């Protein structure tokens, strides 16, 4: 079973405390939303879970193995993948190469033929077959986000963290990303989805985590969390 344990994670940047003792567990293929006002620490938490940053203190375990000490590529190998708030599709590579290169780097012993076969499956899933030979830079912002999701699928992670997957995406592609999440979650992958799109996140997630000033102020059923006085207070003045 998927087991992710984030224990008392703190992160300081100089005098700024970006995370102040974040603790939560993921058990099995959960579908979790992570929300919080701008600057709450959502991206920092993601960067710690995937090894981009080291916590100032605290630990992260995946499947019982400590991962907060590992570099990102080893965290990916351990089974945790993420997308970036600003997409990082390789602009000078074709869509097919974008899928193959990270997968070959992560699984050097997998045969190229097998990876290519998998890449075509992923392209089919994204309905991107016709774009296979197009360059990353020729894709729209939303298509680049989908390509990043495709690259994640190539790596076959157990836990997938999506940082603002819906931001600036055309409604039609948004629907595709939504479908991607539902389908891949049903295949047994856990998701942590960061989003500002409240309607989407409340509909999609079965559990909601709320960060505010680096602290987890709520963790539970989205319907209950929504009315939690601490959460309401954190969001007062955000919308208007
Ligand atoms: N690399 C960094 N250096 C210094 N401060 C940072 C860095 N990354 C994030 N911060 C600060 O940490 C806080 C949390 O940021 P972030 O995790 O990006 O928030 P969110 O993703 O919730 O909007 C903010 O005050 C931000 O300015
Ligand atoms: Mg962020």
Give which of 162, 141, 148 is closest to 98, Cα–Cα: 148
What pLDDT score was predicted for residue 22? 98
Q: Domain 3-235 in CATH: superfamily?
A: P-loop containing nucleotide triphosphate hydrolases (3.40.50.300)
Which residue's alpha carbon is nearest to atom 11 within ligand 1? 18
What digits encode the pLDDT tens for the residues 203-237? Answer: 899 999 999 999 999 999 999 998 899 888 887 65
What ranges do the domains of the chain cover? Answer: 3-235
Answer whether residue 133 shows pLDDT above 50.
yes
Asked if residue 67 has pLDDT above 50, the reply is yes
Q: Cβ(34)–Cβ(58) under 8 Å?
A: no
Ligand number nearest CA of 42 is: 1
Minimal-distance CA residue to ligand 1 atom 3: 13
Digit-coded pLDDT (tens) for 17-52: 999 999 999 999 999 999 999 999 999 999 999 999
Q: Per 3-state DSSP, what percentage of the chain is helix, strand, and coil (rounded to 5)?
A: 40, 25, 35
Closest residue by CA, ligand 1 atom 12: 18
Can you give the pLDDT at residue 226? 87
Instruction: List pocket residues of ligand 1, CB cut-off 6 Å.
Output: 13, 16, 18, 36, 38-44
Whole-number Å distance, alpha carbon 9 to ligand 1 midpoint, is 15
Closest ligand by atom to 19 CA: 1
Question: What pLDDT score does 240 carry?
Answer: 42
Maximum average pLDDT range among 41-50, 90-99, 106-115: 41-50
């Amino acid at each position: 079973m998927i087991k992710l344990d984030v224990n008392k994670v703190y992160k300081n940047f100089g005098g700024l405390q970006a995370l102040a003792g974040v603790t939560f567990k993921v058990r099995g293929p959960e579908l979790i939303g992570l929300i919080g006002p701008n600057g709450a620490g959502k991206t920092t938490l993601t960067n710690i879970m995937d090894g981009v940053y080291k916590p100032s203190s605290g630990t992260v375990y995946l499947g019982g193995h400590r991962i907060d000490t590992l570099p990102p590529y080893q965290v990916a190998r351990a089974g945790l993948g993420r997308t970036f708030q600003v997409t990082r599709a390789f602009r000078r590579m074709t869509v097919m190469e974008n899928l193959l290169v990270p997968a070959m780097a992560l699984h050097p012993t997998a045969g190229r033929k097998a990876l290519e076969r998998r890449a075509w499956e992923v392209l089919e899933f994204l309905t991107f077959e016709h774009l296979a030979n197009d360059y990353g830079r020729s894709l729209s912002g939303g298509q680049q986000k989908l390509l990043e999701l495709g690259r994640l699928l190539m790596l076959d992670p157990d836990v997938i963290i999506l940082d603002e997957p819906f931001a600036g995406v055309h409604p039609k592609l948004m629907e595709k990303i939504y479908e991607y999440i539902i389908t891949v979650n049903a295949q047994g992958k856990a998701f942590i989805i960061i989003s500002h799109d409240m309607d989407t996140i409340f509909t999609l997630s079965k559990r909601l985590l709320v960060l505010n000033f680096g602290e987890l102020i709520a963790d539970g059923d989205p319907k209950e969390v929504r009315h939690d006085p601490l959460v309401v207070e954190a969001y007062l003045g955000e919308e208007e």
